[in-house]
């Protein structure tokens, strides 16, 4: 109980600090898929909006529960969907958005310890080509949240 309370307090501080913000970039609907206990990687999804007049790339992500994070896409190869790492990251067009979602581009939590469990909130720092980082809360769920209208 004590450990849990301390974690919540730490997260509250982190959210209140507002230290990490990338100018003109907004993140919405961030979530990560709950993992079976034996899995060694989990997917993270988020919609990123670029309100600036220049394209910005998402180039990396950071979380202290994982070995490291990767940026992936899914491609069809010989009729089989495969995950492929995107070494240059993902471009968010000027005044546009990019949607990281199941079956497409996504973040990968590599070897999280412990695995991602429903109900948790993970703090992830997204790193952009501008050199800025933005802290985003990823809620762990079994399946995609309902689309917002």
Choices 10-18, 45-53, 68-76, 136-144; region in contact with Cu ion by CB under 5 A: 68-76
> 78-137: which residues touch Cu ion (CB under 5 A)?
83, 108
Residue 132 C-beta: closest distance to Cu ion, Å: 24
What is the nearest approach in angstroms of Cu ion to the Cβ of residue 56? 22
The DSSP secondary-structure symbol of 63 reads -
Q: Kindly tell me which of 33 and 57 has the beta carbon lying closer to Cu ion.
A: 33
Considering only CA atoms, which of 146, 77, 75, 78 is closest in space to residue 105? 75
Among 119, 136, 116, 103, which residue's Cα sits nearest to residue 42? Answer: 116
- Toward Cu ion, which CB reaches closer, 83 or 118? 83
- Least Å distance between CB 116 and Cu ion? 13
Judged by CB under 5 A, does residue 72 bind Cu ion? yes
Q: What is the closest distance, in whole angstroms, from the C-beta atom of residue 23 to Cu ion in the complex?
A: 28
First to last CA, the chain: 37
- CB-CB contact of 20 with 93 (8 Å): no
Which of residues 27 and 71 has its CB atom nearest to Cu ion in the complex? 71
In sequence order, what DSSP letters do the residues of 78-147 get, joined into one string?
TTEEEEEE-TT-EEE-TTEEEEE-TTSSEEEEES-SS---TT-EEEEEEEETTS-EEEEEEEEESSPPPP
Minimum CB distance to Cu ion smaller for 55 or for 144: 144
The residues binding Cu ion (CB under 5 A) are 72, 83, 108
């Amino acid at each position: 109980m004590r450990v849990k309370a301390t974690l919540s307090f730490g997260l509250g501080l982190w959210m209140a600090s507002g230290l990490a913000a990338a100018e003109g970039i907004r993140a919405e609907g961030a979530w990560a898929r709950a993992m079976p206990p034996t899995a060694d990687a989990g997917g993270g999804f988020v919609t990123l909006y670029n309100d600036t007049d220049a394209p910005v790339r998402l180039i990396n992500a950071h979380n202290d529960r994982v070995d490291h994070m990767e940026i992936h896409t899914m491609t069809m190869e010989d009729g089989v969907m495969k995950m492929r790492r995107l070494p240059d990251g993902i471009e968010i067009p000027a005044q546009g958005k990019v949607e990281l979602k199941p079956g497409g581009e996504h973040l990968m939590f590599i070897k999280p310890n412990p695995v991602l469990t429903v109900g948790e909130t993970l703090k992830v720092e997204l790193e952009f080509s501008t050199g800025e980082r933005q802290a985003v809360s990823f809620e762990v769920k079994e399946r995609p949240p309902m689309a917002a209208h």
